[in-house]
Chains A and B, each alone.
Chain A
Amino acid sequence: MSSDVTTDGTEMPVDEDAVLHGCPLVESRGQQVLFVARDRYLEVLRLLTDEGFAMCVDLTAVDYSRFMDRDLPEAIDAERFEVVVNLLDISARRRMRVRVQVPESEPVVPSLFDLHPGTEAMEREVFDMFGIAFSDHPDPSRILMPEDWIGHPLRKDYETGSIPVQFKGAPS
């Protein structure tokens, strides 16, 4: 695989302090990453959609509680959670990744449902696995775990190997 033919399609040259819609734009291994503040999340996503990134391919999250000193642009303060949105522009064949910092004290992010209805299930999965709530989501319930499950398994403080097995409906 040569580096100029990547899965990211067309590559735009990005300099050190590039800015898109007032948000730091970083190139990470040939991929465009946009760091968006939480209060501008919906607004920037709407702008990106109008720019051609009309398809939301993936929405996930990372619990960075054990890796707080990760590499971030200067303007961005590291928080425990990050919501990661992968956008795709079909006509220009390019991708964009949006990273949003979400504090542990208030893990709430606006839902993208009205903009990208396909994120409905992905946001439910992130809520289920990380306990990040999506405000104005049409169906804020667990999706993979049973609805009476306690805890959010993909959080780093949810240890494996020491958890008693929970059975739905079983007398405890």
Chain B
Amino acid sequence: MTMIANEGAQEMRPRSELSARELFREVGSVLRMSEAEAAALGDLPEDPEDDQTMVINMGPQHPSTHGVLRLMLELQGETVLRCKPIIGYLHTGMEKTAEQLTFMQGGTNVTRMDYLSPLNNELVFSLATEKLLGIDGDIPERAVWMRMLLSELNRMSSHLLFMATNGMDLGAVSMMIYGWREREEVLRFFQKVTGLRMNHNFIRPGGLAADLPAGWRDDVLRLLDMLPARLEEYDILMTGQPIWRERLQGVGVITPTEALALGATGPILRSTGVEWDLRRDMPYLRYDEVDFDVVVGTYGDAFDRYAIRLNEIRESMRIVRQILDRMPSGDYRIQDKKVTPPPRARIDESMEALIHHFKIFTEGFRVPEGEVYVGIESPRGEIGCYIASDGSPTPYRMHMRAPSFVNIQCLPHMMRGGLVADAVAVISSVDPVLGEVDR
């Protein structure tokens, strides 16, 4: 096969090697400017030939890159002129793997993508599968509310870990211990419910793997009673503290136009003042029946992104309280013979049940032809699942729209003109999960 495209190097070339047009296009497209307007910004060289810059690598092994992220920075003194994230070090072909696994097994695959919010990954995969099956309106109420409970708790655990890593990256090492401690409390609840701390494969097409265990309500209440005081500790330790504010305020600024043009979602888009939260604006599950506020920022800087995540933990706790009040009784999965294996007791007494069980776990269930895209609000932004089915028990193609993958493309624009010392604060404020970036 002949390749038409130029498989150029992935490395960023210093700007002295680029033509002025390439440079202005890079800047102008994102800022929605013409090349002439981009040139008038003034920080691009008039004559690339006598430009004195240096290209350095940050990563792939660097403690503050949250995994194996490599950034190429073009510096002039201490100022970052350009930056290019180079990814793929964690690529394991999960979208290809998904084509080998049945819809039943798919959850084990997608849950490992964004390993800090596994339940949201499973949720979006299940919602997409259910839409293809045409059973999205028939999921029992209890299953829907349980999914919401787990999804919100997962948002809390993910944001708590962000508090820990953000603190660690900026030198507030005690914050790392605190954030990790609180997150562990949430994970302990997940372990009790799903059997695992991470990679749960608990939310499945048709419902959930099991009902909530006895005493779950007390565990959640204990969490909700414990966290507010801990969050106030965070406020004392970080929010009001002058050093913390100096490090974050005005750093990594992104405008609403840039964020929308780059497709950024989640806390990054909201930090610019754009009120966009899929839970409120395109409600799924029963988010239209619970009361919560969408937290937005004003300046689009790293401090706004920190504050949004901190307050989103509080909003999630508000949602969880309402879920506790309203959790209905009933079935935790759909009683549809097509997707639900028979109860264990039936297998002992019925040959049909045994065959049915065997078929579901070996061959899987067939999903009608078609294609569907479902997007939900994960802690990092819109996570979308695109599935094309050819009528077989495995997805013909499964694609995950990973929020981190898109958000990480904002780094060059957040870092432009900033100091190299702020680069760490900016990476941290995007909160990328490299497992999801590379899939």
Fill in one digit per residue for A55-68: 1 if any B CB lies within 8 Å of its CB, else 0. 11110101110110
Q: A5-B283, A139-B8 are in contact. Are A63 and B397 (CB under 8 A)?
A: yes
Query: Chain A: how many interface residues by the 8 Å CB criterion?
Result: 64
A-B contacts counted at CB < 8 A amount to 169
Is A93 within 8 A of B282, CB to CB?
Answer: yes
- Tell me the minimal C-beta distance from A98 to chain B in angstroms: 11
Query: Chain B: how many interface residues by the 8 Å CB criterion?
Result: 68
Q: A107-B4, A131-B1, A143-B87 are in contact. Are A57 and B139 (CB under 8 A)?
A: no
Is A116 within 8 A of B388, CB to CB?
Answer: no
Residue from B8, B288, B369 in contact with A140 in the complex, judged by beta carbons closer than 8 Å: B8
Q: A28-B372, A70-B369, A160-B100 are in contact. Are A144 and B87 (CB under 8 A)?
A: yes
> What is the bound-complex CA distance between A127 and B265, given in angstroms?
24
Residue from B8, B137, B388, B439 in contact with A62 in the complex, judged by beta carbons closer than 8 Å: B388
> What is the bound-complex CA distance between A70 and B406, given in angstroms?
30
Question: Which positions 70-121 of chain B face chain A at CB distance < 8 Å?
Answer: 87-88, 91, 93, 95-96, 100
Is A71 among interface residues, defined by CB-CB distance under 8 A? yes
Is B374 among interface residues, defined by CB-CB distance under 8 A? yes
Is A5 within 8 A of B288, CB to CB?
Answer: yes
Is B3 among interface residues, defined by CB-CB distance under 8 A? yes
Task: Tell me whether chain A's interface is mostly helix, strand or loop, or mixed.
Answer: loop
Fill in one digit per residue for A85-127: 1 if any B CB lies within 8 Å of its CB, else 0. 0100010010101000000001110000110111111100101
Is B366 among interface residues, defined by CB-CB distance under 8 A? no
Chain B CB within 10 Å — which of A33, A58, A71, A154 has the most?
A58
> What is the bound-complex CA distance between A94 and B243, given in angstroms?
43
> What is the bound-complex CA distance between A75 and B257, given in angstroms?
37
- Tell me the minimal C-beta distance from A64 to chain B in angstroms: 8
- Tell me the minimal C-beta distance from A143 to chain B in angstroms: 6
> What is the bound-complex CA distance between A57 and B265, given in angstroms?
9
Is A86 within 8 A of B390, CB to CB?
Answer: no
Is B307 among interface residues, defined by CB-CB distance under 8 A? no
> What is the bound-complex CA distance between A113 and B26, given in angstroms?
9
> What is the bound-complex CA distance between A113 and B323, given in angstroms?
43
Nearest B residue to A127 via CB reads B5
Among the stretches B128-136, B232-240, B310-318, the one at the interface with A is B128-136
Nearest B residue to A104 via CB reads B1
Chain A CB within 10 Å — which of B261, B370, B390 has the most?
B261
Is B160 among interface residues, defined by CB-CB distance under 8 A? no
Q: Could you say which residues of chain B place their CB within 8 Å of the CB of A108?
A: 4-5
**Can you give 23 contacting A-B residue pairs, CB < 8 Å?**
A3-B136, A5-B288, A8-B282, A29-B131, A29-B134, A55-B260, A57-B401, A58-B386, A67-B390, A90-B276, A93-B282, A106-B4, A117-B29, A118-B263, A127-B5, A138-B25, A140-B5, A141-B6, A141-B7, A142-B88, A144-B438, A145-B88, A154-B96
Top 4 A-B pairs, shortest CB-CB distance: A118-B263, A133-B5, A118-B262, A144-B88
